[in-house]
């Protein structure tokens, strides 16, 4: 199956989105480009694309937001969306046939790929992510799922994979891993649909590794020495200490779903400040706060207290 990786940048200024027309009368597109076969670092390539149009983003590796799958003759395009934050510069658009800034509510009337439009709106929380999990799982099982024709998507959004070519999962570990996914994604009690959607996301992106990941979750999270809440807090600390802010968001929510209190999550990241440095904790803190806000967790902010003289 032919697969092409493309990158797109959601560049916002004063609440408006930059779109380009690369051909006169053609569809509007995000600034971006195709990942060269000689480049295996998508973050570096996205940074190079932004630099070429005069946009300087301080931390592109933290700006990845989503992947959209687009139909391609004989295969698919894996379209990775980035949303540069705190960028500086003046975007140079002379190489495009046309360029303009659009408000998000105007995207419905703009001629562009509908799945890219959907990905942008999902990234801004203006549209719920479509659950393609059943279609992906059916495709991987060798069935022929019927997708909503309005999606204008390819028959299967995941790579065509021979199910026998992937690692056959250990049934008990696999189910334990699925249970972990359900709780990480869906809350205490384990939302089966959320777990299947999370598994479908793994299968669509990493079809040969997905079963290994799920089995590993089942093996490492099921041991009796530590309960899941403790393991979640350990993972939160490790991700914060190593600066893996994308997975950190998932695992802060997962720690809360596993029964950790907001105060316990806060203490875990405070420990990061002590043992891995304040910069790591300060970068992790807004991620934690964003998860709290999404879950409606309100915390009183204690006023600064003067330290007593030694």
Stretch 2-13: mean pLDDT: 88
Spell out the residues 6+ positions from residue 77 whose beta carbon is closer than 8 angstroms to its own. 3, 4, 5, 6, 69, 70, 71
What Rg value do the Cα atoms of the chain yield, rounded? 21
Structure confidence at residue 201 (pLDDT): 67
Of residues 79 and 209, the one with the higher pLDDT is: 79
pLDDT digits (tens, 9 = 90+) for 219-278: 788 777 888 899 999 999 999 999 888 788 888 988 998 899 999 999 999 999 999 999
Whole-number Å distance between alpha carbons of 242 and 252: 15
Same topology, domains 2-123 and 228-294? Answer is no
pLDDT in tens, 133-172: 444 444 334 443 343 434 443 333 333 333 333 333 455 7
For the stretch 161-210, pLDDT in tens is 333 333 334 557 778 878 887 777 765 444 556 666 666 767 666 777 77
Spatial separation of the C-alpha atoms in residues 203 and 1, rounded to whole Å:
16
Helix axes 210-221, 192-205, angle to 10 degrees: 130
Q: Which CATH class is domain 228-294?
A: mainly alpha
Q: Residue ranges per domain, the chain?
A: 2-123, 133-221, 228-294
pTM above 0.85, yes or no: no
Domain spanning 2-123: which CATH class is it, in words?
alpha beta
């Amino acid at each position: 199956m032919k697969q092409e990786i493309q990158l797109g940048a959601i560049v916002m200024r004063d609440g408006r989105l930059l779109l380009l027309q690369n051909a006169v009368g053609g569809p509007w597109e995000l600034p971006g480009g195709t990942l060269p076969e000689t480049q295996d670092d998508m973050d570096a390539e996205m940074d190079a694309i932004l630099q070429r149009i005069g946009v300087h983003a301080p931390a592109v590796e933290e700006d990845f937001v989503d992947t959209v799958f687009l139909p391609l003759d004989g295969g698919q395009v894996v379209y990775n969306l980035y949303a540069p934050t705190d960028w500086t510069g003046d975007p140079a658009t002379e190489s495009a046939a046309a360029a303009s800034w659009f408000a998000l509510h105007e995207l419905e009337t703009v001629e562009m790929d509908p799945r890219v439009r959907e990905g942008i709106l999902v990234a801004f929380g203006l549209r719920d992510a479509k659950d393609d999990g059943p279609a992906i799982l059916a495709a991987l099982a060798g069935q022929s799922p019927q997708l909503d024709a309005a999606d204008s998507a390819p028959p299967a959004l995941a790579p065509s994979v021979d199910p026998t070519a992937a690692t056959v999962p250990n049934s008990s570990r696999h189910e334990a891993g699925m249970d972990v996914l359900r709780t990480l994604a869906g809350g205490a009690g384990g939302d089966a649909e959320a777990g299947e959607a999370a598994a479908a996301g793994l299968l669509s992106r990493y079809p040969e590794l997905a079963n290994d990941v799920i089995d590993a979750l089942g093996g490492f999270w099921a041991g009796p020495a530590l309960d899941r809440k403790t393991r979640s807090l350990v993972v939160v600390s490790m991700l914060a200490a190593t600066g893996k802010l994308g997975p950190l968001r998932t695992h802060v929510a997962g720690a809360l779903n596993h029964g950790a209190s907001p105060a316990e999550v806060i203490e875990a990241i405070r420990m990061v400040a002590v043992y891995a440095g304040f910069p790591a904790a300060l970068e992790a803190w807004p991620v934690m706060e964003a998860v709290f806000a999404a879950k409606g967790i309100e915390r009183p902010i204690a006023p600064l207290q003067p330290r007593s003289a030694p």
